[in-house]
C-alpha cells in the first residue's frame, strides 16, 4: 500500500538528527528557504527504499519546503514516468546546488530515464551553470552504458581539458568526475584521460570553512591500483 505525503513526513520527523540540523542551520542562507530534519543521505536512501517507487508521491514531496522530503522525492521517483519537462523544472529548483548530487548523480533516478544522455548533451551546451554541472554528473553516471561511444568520450576529454579551468567552480567539480568516469571505461580512454588530467593540473574547489573535503584528484585515481585492476579484467 502506497504511503501518503503526511506519512513520509512523519517518518522523516522520527529520524530527525539534531547534529545534522545544527549543521544545516549553520550553513544558513546557502540552503535558501529550505528546512531540514538533518538526516544524512545514507539514512534517507534507506527510508526511500522503505517508501518505494511512487511517481505521484515523489512530485508531492518535491514541492515540500523540507530538504529531506525533496531528497526522498528524487529517490523514489519512477524513471519511466519522469519526463524531460519535469527534469527541466526541477533543475531550476536545486537550491544553489544542495540537491544537485541526488538529482543527477549517485545512482539518481534521472540517470535511469531513456532521455538522460540526450539531456546531458543538451545541458552541456547550456549557458546555465547548474545545467552544465548536472550534465557532467550525468555523463559520469552514464559512463558504463552503451549510449556513449569512444569517439564521443574522446571529444569530451578534449573539451574538459580545454575548458575546465575557465568554468564555474562547481561545474569544474562535475567535469572532474566525468573525466574520471570516462577514464575508467577502457585502456584507450584511460590513457587519454590521464594525459588530460596531467595537462589540467590541480583543480581548485572551495568547499567552505570547516569542510574537510578535498578536490577530487583525478590523476591519482586514474593511475591507482583499483583502476589498473579494473581495466585488466
pLDDT-derived band at 211 (thresholds 50, 70, 90) equals low
Sequence-ordered alpha helix ranges (H) in the chain: 5-14, 18-27, 41-51, 55-62, 67-76, 84-91, 100-104, 116-124, 129-141, 150-163, 169-183, 187-200, 218-222, 225-232
Rounded Cα–Cα distance for residues 194 and 72 (Å): 36
Q: What is the pTM of this model?
A: 0.93
Classified as helix, coil or strand, 39 is: coil
Q: Which three cell numbers stand for residue 104?
A: 543527477
What is the DSSP code (8-state) at residue 4? Answer: P
The set of residues, in sequence order, having a beta carbon less than 8 Å from that of 63 and lying 6+ positions away, is none
Handedness of CA 143, 146, 150, 154 (dihedral sign): negative
- Which residue has cell 553516471? 141
Q: Is residue 24 over pLDDT 80?
A: yes
Q: Which three cell numbers stand for residue 152?
A: 564521443
Q: Is residue 134 over pLDDT 70?
A: yes
Confidence (pLDDT) at 204: 87
Q: Is residue 33 over pLDDT 90?
A: no
What is the DSSP code (8-state) at residue 66? Answer: B
Average pLDDT over residues 114-124: 97
Amino acid at each position: 500500500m502506497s504511503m501518503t505525503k503526511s506519512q513520509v513526513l512523519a517518518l522523516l520527523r522520527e529520524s530527525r538528527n539534531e547534529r545534522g540540523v545544527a549543521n544545516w542551520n549553520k550553513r544558513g542562507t546557502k540552503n535558501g528557504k529550505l528546512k531540514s530534519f538533518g538526516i544524512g543521505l545514507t539514512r534517507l536512501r534507506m527510508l526511500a527504499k522503505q517508501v518505494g517507487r511512487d511517481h505521484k508521491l515523489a512530485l508531492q514531496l518535491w514541492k515540500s519546503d523540507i530538504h529531506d522530503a525533496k531528497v526522498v522525492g528524487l529517490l523514489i521517483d519512477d524513471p519511466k514516468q519522469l519526463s524531460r519537462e519535469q527534469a527541466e523544472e526541477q533543475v531550476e529548483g536545486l537550491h544553489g546546488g544542495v540537491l544537485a548530487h541526488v538529482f543527477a548523480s549517485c545512482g539518481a533516478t534521472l540517470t535511469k530515464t531513456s532521455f538522460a544522455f540526450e539531456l546531458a548533451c543538451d545541458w552541456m551546451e547550456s549557458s546555465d551553470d547548474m545545467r552544465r554541472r548536472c550534465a557532467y554528473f550525468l555523463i559520469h553516471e552514464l559512463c558504463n552504458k552503451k549510449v556513449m561511444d569512444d569517439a564521443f568520450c574522446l571529444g569530451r576529454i578534449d573539451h574538459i581539458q580545454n575548458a575546465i579551468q575557465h568554468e564555474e567552480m562547481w561545474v569544474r567539480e562535475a567535469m572532474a568526475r566525468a573525466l574520471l568516469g570516462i577514464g575508467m571505461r577502457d585502456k584507450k580512454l584511460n590513457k587519454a584521460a590521464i594525459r588530460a588530467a596531467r595537462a589540467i593540473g590541480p583543480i581548485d574547489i572551495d568547499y567552505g570553512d570547516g569542510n574537510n573535503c578535498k578536490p577530487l584528484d583525478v590523476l591519482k585515481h586514474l593511475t591507482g591500483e583499483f583502476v589498473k585492476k579494473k581495466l585488466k579484467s
